[in-house]
Amino acid sequence: MSTGVVYTETVVHAAPAEFVADAPYQLAIVSLDGGGRLTVRIAGERVKIGDKVELAEERNGTHYFRKLAG
């Protein structure tokens, strides 16, 4: 399973037309434990910089990460 740390994050309030029904939603750049960075959507509880996250699911080519408990 992919895990990492939130490098930066933002909440999208004014979404593009295809995502307007999802707004507001959180996006983050995650520094992956295995190396590299990935731009992801956050599922569930909001995250902040430095939070540990894990891959929750992939939908239509979009990676959804969630905050790790603890």
The yes-or-no verdict on residue 70 having pLDDT over 80 is no
Using an 8 Å Cβ cutoff, are 40 and 30 in contact? yes
What is the average per-residue pLDDT within 37-55? 97
If you count them, how many residues does the chain have? 70
pLDDT band at 69 (very low <50, low <70, confident <90, very high): confident
The helix (H) or strand (E) run that includes residue 57 is: strand 52-59
Q: What angle do CA 13, 38, 18 make, to 5 degrees?
A: 35
Rounded to 5 degrees, φ, ψ at 44 are 80, -140
For the segment 12-23, what is each residue's pLDDT rounded down to a tens digit? Answer: 999 999 999 999
Q: Which CATH architecture fits 3-67?
A: Beta Barrel (2.40)
